[in-house]
Structure 1
Amino acid sequence: MWPPLNPPIKDWTDKRIWLIGASSGIGAALARHALSAGAKVILTARRQPQLEAVAAGHKQTLVLPFDVLDTAAWSKAYASIVSRWGGVDLIVFCAADYRPERSWAVEPAVAAQTLQINLGSVYSGLATVLPDLMAQGHGGVALVASVAGFVGLPNASVYGPSKAALINLAEILYTDLHPQGLAVYLINPGFVKTQLTAQNRFAMPALQTPEQAALAIWRGLSRGQFEIHFPRRFTQLLKILQLLPYRLRFFLLAQLVQPK
């Protein structure tokens, strides 16, 4: 049995976790898991009321609302974290934008914004926290990508490429940061019931709740897994799909997006 690629985390007590995109969906559910495990949780998203609702009743929270596209806001928020708790042990990038669209319907301005939220903001966050993480020699980075980054799924004309880029970036980060003592986690969920996926007009196989997704992520983080993908009955099929010849792959992909 091969050991995990990251050190397993046995005790989350007082671990400082910065969740980007924590106002709803997977991010909010993951925050609740972290808080129940005794972690200190920094909650970031644009919508302060929703963040306050997630933090309600928990003393070990810090609510820092800002737009992830505001590059100057990153350093200001991080300064608040350093002032309060001295830094972070784990930053989790959950923020995402999505709209189902075929390639001929893509609007350049909207596509640019999606790419900035899904990918560009991650670089802003990394530039903010990596110097201190590397200096302290421990901690980690988690990127929430998607199975949409495995293969070219129809209706994911912008979302899919942005998530494929995150998968590639996570692999690069592991190569760069593992020798520095840092953990890197790549999270590839299948379909999760959120406001974003509610836009889909096709049957979503193995649809999960945010709570189910958060539990799978939490288990993977605790076990030190590099790639955390779920539900496996669906994600394993897509991994097999990656290996098929294009002629067969394209035929099978077309079956996934039949209208409801």
Structure 2
Amino acid sequence: MFSSLNTPIADWGAQRVWLIGASSGIGAALAKQMLNAGAEVVISARRLPQLQQVAADYQKAHIVPLDVSDQAAWAAAYAQVVHRIGTPDLVVFCAADYRPERSWEVNVSQAESTLRINLLSAYAAIEQVLPAMLARGTGGVALIASVAGYLGLPNASVYGPSKAALINLAEILYSDLHPKGLNVYLINPGFVKTGLTAKNTFAMPALQTPQQAAMAIWQGISAGEFEIHFPRRFTRWLKLLQLMPYRLRFALFERYLKIS
């Protein structure tokens, strides 16, 4: 048996978590999952009323509002996090934006906004949290990417590349940080029923609820997994597609995804 790539977490009651992008969807469900497991959790997002709803029933929930696209706001937000709970043991980056669009529909201003939220703000989070974690020699960073980053799929002309970049970044972070005692988690969900996927007009295979997604993420982090992908009955097929020659892959896309 291979050992876990990260250190498993047995006692969530001892964990201090900063969860970024927690006002709805996967982030909100994951915050509640970790709070129910006993963790002390700071939740951040732009929408204060939604954060208050997530935190309402939990004494160990803390709210630090943050617009992840505002680069100047990160240092102050992190200072508030440290003031509330100390240096986090785990930082989970959940913030995301999505517009279904084909390549001929791309607008550079909208693309810049999506990339700023999905990718550049992940760098802002890393810049804030890594120095203290490295000085302490413990801690963990989790990036929520997507199976849309596995392959160049239609209707994801900006979203897909942003998630592919997060997958690449998580691999780099693991190589850099694991030898220094830090954990890195790459989370690749399939389709999850959220406000973002509600924009899709096609049938989404193996669609899961945010609660199912949160449980899969929590179990994966608890077990010390590096890549946490789900539901596996769907994600394994996409991993198989990754291995196919382009000629075969594109032929399958044309036949089954109705590319025109």
TM-score, structure 1 as length reference: 0.97
Worse-matched range after superposition: 48-57 or 84-93: 84-93
Q: Deviations over 1:45-67 (max 9, x none)?
A: 00000000000021111101120
Asked if structure 2 preserves the Cα contact closer than 8 Å seen for 1:154 and 1:254, the reply is no
- The answer to whether the 8 Å contact 1:202/1:258 transfers is no
Give the aligned length.
Answer: 259
After TM superposition, the score normalised by the length of structure 2 is: 0.97
Q: Does 1:195 align with 2:191?
A: no
Q: Please list, as runs of the form range in 1=range in 2, the aligned pairs for 1:223-242 lying within 5 A after superposition.
A: 223-242=223-242
Find the aligned partners of 1:42 and 1:111 in 2 and give their Cα distance. Answer: 29
What is the CA RMSD across the aligned residues, in angstroms?
1.1
How does 1:139-178 map onto structure 2 within 5 Å?
139-178=139-178
1:57-206 → structure 2 map (5 Å cutoff): 57-206=57-206
How many angstroms apart in 1 are the aligned matches of 2:252 and 2:205? Answer: 13
List gaps (5 residues or longer) in structure 2: none
Q: 1:258 Cα shift?
A: 4.8
Q: Report if the CA contact (8 A) 1:189-1:213 is conserved.
A: yes
Contact 2:18 2:81 in 1 (8 A): no
Change (3 A) 1:203 1:255: farther
Distance 2:139 2:237 in 1: 32
Cα pair distance change 1:256/1:199, threshold 3 Å: farther
For the Cα contact (< 8 Å) 1:93–1:142, is it kept in 2?
Answer: yes
1:190 to 1:249, Cα distance in 2 relative to 1, 3 A: same
List alignment gaps of at least 5 residues for structure 1.
none
Instruction: Return the alpha-carbon distance in structure 2 between the equivalents of residues 129 and 201 of structure 1.
Output: 38
In the superposition, relative to structure 1, how do residues 119 and 96 fare at CA in structure 2: closer, same or farther (>3 Å)? same
Deviates more, 1:113-122 or 1:72-81: 72-81
Question: How far does the alpha carbon of each residue in 1:7-38 deviate from its partner, in whole angstroms, 9 at most, with x for none?
Answer: 11011003111111100000000001100011
Kindly state the Cα deviation for residue 83 of structure 1 after the two structures are TM-superposed: 1.7
